[in-house]
Amino acid sequence: MHAPLNKDLQQPPNASPNLDTNGAPDDDHTPDPVVTLAITREDFQAAAAPNAAPESLKKFPTNKALIEAVNNLFLETYESFTGKARMTGSGEAKRLVIHFHTAEARDLCVGSTHPEFPDLIFHAHDPRQLRSNEDLWAIQVTDIPFFIKKDNLMAYFKKFGNITSCRLFSRPNAKVQQARIVYDHADSIARFTDQWAVYCFSTCLRITPCFYTVDQKAARRQYVATLTQLPPNVKDINLAPLTRNLGAKAVNVPLSLNSYKPKRWAYVTFNSQETMDAAMEQTVSFQGKVLFWSSPDNTNKLCHRCGKLGCAPNFCPLKQTRGRSRTRDPVAKLKERFNVNQPRRSNSNTANARSRSRSRSKSKDRSASNSG
């Protein structure tokens, strides 16, 4: 109970707080200041898939038993653990979600193993992203040119483990493809936590584990710079030693929408602002030619003929006298060229074409015999 204010003690019973003792308005009255204290706590989440942990389920067969065991252990292990583990979803989407007040404790938990639950693996959890157990051993592969087919991907990525499924697809108006590759074990994709890309057919394919949160996926494309004025027909693999020495995680030379030849600049991806800044301070040479750093925001100002910033393609010294004809739908033309998502010819059409060919050859034979 709070002690009454001195002002309240001086007023007679039933006196209005806005009036003086004579009933007149009290002009000098000012309301007491109200102090509001807002206490906010950060919420950093991690989650595990109980149905993918048979040893832990055998030891703790019920949700309640598993939650209590996790709460008891983590309260002793992590200082900022909230002690509020909870179970969400069902089936493959079932998750044991835990909460921390600091990202450091959450990350420490994600990177640790716990003998009490040896196969219960925690990952950073984002409630905005719905995942299935399959995401725990799947990767997303992007920047795949149309000339790389599904069989090519399967042949390359099988060296990391047994592949259970591979889906290759492209979005509308996209001039590259992407793929979802699922392995039979999480160990097959463990390397891609640190390794951001691979080189397949001289092309740098960027890789992201599917269990990553929305923020983790965005971080892999956050620090990007461009190297401009490349020599003609430079491929990703040609720049790999150079960018590796700069501490880059990936390098991608974009392809022309009409010719599908490499453009005269490259996107170089880094894992931090510090690494990118240090790289951009260096003078970079390639094949005896000095390259220049720029921002990805300036790519629409780069000349597609020479790669220089601010050079107008129509007045570029490298402009050919006779220009190449342009199509109204270059993406559709590319897909037709590389036979991507093209309708197959039916057997009846093929048979009709063969019959017409045979009839034409017979008529030629008859005409030849008649003339003889």
pLDDT in tens, 120-140: 989 888 776 656 678 889 999
Q: How sure is the predictor about 193, in pLDDT bands with cuts at 50, 70 and 90?
A: very high
Whether pLDDT at 14 is above 70? no
Give the pLDDT of residue 361: 54
Out of 99-103, 271-275, 364-368, pick the least confident: 364-368
Beta bridge partners of 200: 203
Percent of the chain with pLDDT over 70: 74
| Domains, the chain, ordered by start | 44-124 (3.30.70.330), 134-211 (3.30.70.330), 223-315 (3.30.70.330)
Over residues 223-240, the pLDDT tens digits come to 999 999 999 999 999 999
Contact 153, 72 (CB under 8 A): no
Q: Is the pLDDT of residue 35 over 80?
A: no
How far apart are alpha carbons 65 and 58 in whole angstroms? Answer: 11
**pLDDT at residue 336, as a whole number:** 81
Q: What does the pLDDT read at residue 145?
A: 95
User: In the predicted model, what is the mean pLDDT of the chain?
Assistant: 81
Sign for the pseudo-dihedral over CA of 74, 81, 111, 67: positive
pLDDT digits (tens, 9 = 90+) for 201-212: 999 999 999 989
How much of the chain, in percent, has pLDDT values that exceed 90? 49
Least confident of 129-143, 149-163, 320-334: 320-334
Mean pLDDT over residues 265-284, rounded? Answer: 95
Whole-angstrom distance, CA of residue 77 vs CA of residue 66: 16
Question: Do residues 147 and 195 touch, judged by C-beta distance below 8 A?
Answer: no
pLDDT of residue 13: 43
Report the 10 Å Cβ neighbour count for 138.
Answer: 22
What is d(CA 247, CA 280) in angstroms, rounded to the nearest whole number?
A: 11
What's the whole-number mean pLDDT along residues 358-366? 53
Is the pTM higher than 0.95? The answer reads no
Range among 27-31, 70-74, 326-330 rated most confident: 70-74
Residue type, 240: A
pLDDT at 279: 96
Residue 96 CA to residue 218 CA, distance in Å, equals 24
Q: Are 153 and 141 in contact (CB under 8 A)?
A: yes
Question: Is pLDDT above 90 for 149?
Answer: yes
Range with lowest mean pLDDT among 8-12, 43-47, 85-89, 353-357: 8-12
What secondary structure letter does DSSP report for 271?
A: S
Residue at 165: amino acid letter? S
Band of residue 23 on the pLDDT scale cut at 50, 70, 90: very low
The residue that leads in pLDDT, 322 or 66, is: 66
pLDDT at 27 over 80: no
pLDDT tops 60 at residue 157: yes
Q: From CA 371, how far away is CA 145, in angstroms rounded?
A: 55
Output the pLDDT for position 329.
76
Residue 266 confidence class, pLDDT cut points 50, 70, 90: very high
Q: The tokens of 58 are what?
A: 């055998």
Strand ranges across the sheet with 203-209: 163-169, 177-183, 138-144, 203-209, 197-200
3-state secondary structure of 319: coil
Q: Is the pLDDT of residue 72 over 80?
A: yes
End-to-end CA separation in angstroms for the chain: 126
Residues in a beta bridge with 177: 144
Per-residue model confidence (pLDDT) at position 258: 83
H helices within the chain, ranges in order?
A: 6-10, 54-59, 63-77, 103-110, 150-157, 214-219, 236-245, 273-280, 330-337, 347-371
Strand order in the sheet with 44-48: 86-88, 95-100, 44-48, 123-124
| Sign of the alpha-carbon torsion through 190, 195, 200, 204 | positive
Cα–Cα distance measured from residue 27 to residue 126, given in angstroms and rounded to the nearest whole number: 56
Arithmetic mean of pLDDT, 67-89: 91
Model confidence at 156: pLDDT above 90: yes
DSSP class of residue 34 equals -
Residue 98 has pLDDT above 80, yes or no: yes
Check residues 362 and 281 and name the one with the higher pLDDT: 281
